[in-house]
Amino acid sequence: MDHEKILENRANLNEPTATIAQEGCYEGCLVFAMRDQHHTFSLDVETVLQCLKVAEQKGSVPELPDQWWTRVSKRYNQV
């Protein structure tokens, strides 16, 4: 795995868009249109939350209250 290439290929919002997906997803799940240097792809809110949890555990973002994580967990059945 070439970590330098991974870091250089950052994903960004593909236009400031997010949509409520209808197909292949539970009803009303939020999906973001993303783009890296080579691809356009989607990223669901659950994945964003999982990344946020890792960032919190690594100390990269301030700790969020347990009550917030409990509410998120109930809403998305994970994290």
Residue 79's nearest CA partner among 44, 35, 45, 49 is 49
Task: Indicate the DSSP class of residue 67.
Answer: H
What DSSP designation does 17 have? E
Q: pLDDT tens for residues 20-40?
A: 665 556 556 788 888 888 888
Distance CA 52, CA 30 (A): 16
Distance CA 60, CA 13 (A): 21
pTM exceeding the 0.75 threshold for the entire prediction: no
pLDDT, mean of residues 4-14: 80
pLDDT band at 54 (very low <50, low <70, confident <90, very high): very high
